[in-house]
Amino acid sequence: MPELPEVEVVRRGLVEHAVGRRIRAVTVLHERAIRRHLAGRADFEAAVAGHRVIDIRRRGKYLWWVLDDGDALLAHLGMSGQFRVGPTGEHKHPHLRVRFTFDDGGPVIDFLDQRTFGGMSFLPGQADEPGPLAHIAIDPLDEQYDLGATVARIKAKNTEIKRALLDQSVVSGVGNIYADESLWRAQVHYARSTQALTGPAIRRVLQAARDVMTEALSVGGTSFDALYVNVNGDSGYFDRSLAAYGQEGRPCPRCGTLIRRDAFMNRSSFYCPRCQPPPRVSGRGRAS
DNA sequence: ATAGCTACCTGGGCGC
DNA sequence: TGCGCCCAGGTAGCTA
């Protein structure tokens, strides 16, 4: 699943393969991929064609192409979106949703997306900050990131720590995998109350989030299944370093207790019941 | 206002 | 062999 490290790997790939090139044409093969572009397919195709790509930027899990004339092409990979660089005229992948061709006649860039939760939109004049990002917090790998301010924002909320971690308006870029890994590293249970946790404990969770995402980025991200690869179709290697996520029934790397999986927020949460004891008062049911 | 729930999607895996 | 069900989960938009 693409979270911050995976999206950053994709951003770097697009910097290498798209920046400096002029888009000749864009073809939308699946309308849902541009559902956020309310003016529709024909408008999207016409608006994007002819622009030169100046830069690729990212905040959290969003990335956007900075185009000449100050326009933005905003993209989100959702669950299964991929940008792939490939030779012109290759057979079309069954999950191909949008194809970009370029004036230089070089490799095409394809947007593939099996589950179609991802997509893109063209936002004229919004290269500096696309409108849909207004509520997305600065992410932990941004140089403007303020850890202390993020601790304060979490303390001000009345919810459980994992909900706060996954709230993209509080801290962006963290998804289910890195949330569980961060909580495991900080030895904090997912259901602990943001009110009851101390400032230093919240700080440890956020520092763990930054650390784990930095480490994942350095090995190309996490390819837990086949749904995340870089622009060249290669997997990342961080799945080998996961301590908690997806490790149900395996020993905790720290204490040897078997990792558990709970349903939480209609998702799975993986944790060590010994290193990450659940809150006492919360009344959350746990099998003995 | 804030917190928390559901819809949206597809294909792999599983049980029968 | 095939059918049907469940599961994965990021985000927008809804409700209370």
Q: Which of A53, A102, A62 is nearest to A81 (CA)?
A: A62
Q: Which nucleotide is nearest to A179 (CA to C1')?
A: C9
Q: How far, in Å, is the CA of A63 from the C1' of nucleotide C8?
A: 23
pLDDT at A178: 96
pLDDT at A90: 66
For A16-61, what is each residue's pLDDT tens digit? Answer: 999 999 999 999 999 999 999 999 999 999 999 999 999 999 999 9
Does one domain contain both A178 and A93? no
CATH number of the domain bearing residue A111: 3.20.190.10
Report the range of poorest mean pLDDT among A32-41, A82-91, A193-202, A231-240. A82-91
Structure tokens at A160: 């459980």
The CA-atom distances, in angstroms, between A226 and each of A29, A72, A79, A223 are: 22, 29, 11, 7
**Position A283 in a domain:** no
Instruction: Give the rounded percent of residues in chain A with a pLDDT score beyond 70.
Output: 96
**Position A27 in a domain:** yes
Bases in strand B with any atom closer than 7 Å to a protein CB? 2-6, 8-11
**Position A178 in a domain:** yes
Does one domain contain both A161 and A62? no
Does one domain contain both A151 and A245? yes
Asked whether residue A284, judged by its CB, lies under 7 Å from any atom of the DNA or RNA strand B, the reply is no
Asked whether residue A282, judged by its CB, lies under 7 Å from any atom of the DNA or RNA strand B, the reply is no
Does one domain contain both A118 and A151? no
Q: What is the pTM of this model?
A: 0.95
CATH number of the domain bearing residue A158: 1.10.8.50
* Number of domain units in chain A: 2
**Position A49 in a domain:** yes
Does one domain contain both A71 and A8? yes
- What one-character DSSP code corresponds to residue A193? B
**Position A280 in a domain:** no
**Position A279 in a domain:** no
A128-132: average pLDDT: 95
Can A129 be counted among the known catalytic residues? no
Can A277 be counted among the known catalytic residues? no
Does one domain contain both A110 and A83? yes
Does one domain contain both A160 and A100? no
Read off the pLDDT band of A287 (50, 70, 90).
very low
List the catalytic residue out of A52, A267, A273, A278.
Answer: A267
A200-212: average pLDDT: 97
Report whether pLDDT(A93) > 90.
no
**Position A287 in a domain:** no
- Cα torsion angle, A178, A79, A119, A112, sign: positive
Does one domain contain both A60 and A112? yes
Report the range of poorest mean pLDDT among A63-67, A114-118, A233-237. A233-237
Q: Which nucleotide is nearest to A117 (CA to C1')?
A: B9
A193 lies in which domain range? 147-271
Does one domain contain both A158 and A46? no
**Position A140 in a domain:** no
Does one domain contain both A257 and A178? yes
What is the residue-averaged pLDDT of chain A?
A: 93
For residue A160, what are the contacts with CB-CB under 8 A and spacing of at least 6?
A: A190, A191, A192, A193, A194
Does one domain contain both A203 and A234? yes
Structure tokens at A109: 């860039």
Is A192 within 8 Å of A264 (Cβ atoms)?
no
* Residue numbers in A 98-137, CB below 7 Å of strand B: 114-117
Bases in strand C with any atom closer than 7 Å to a protein CB? 7-12
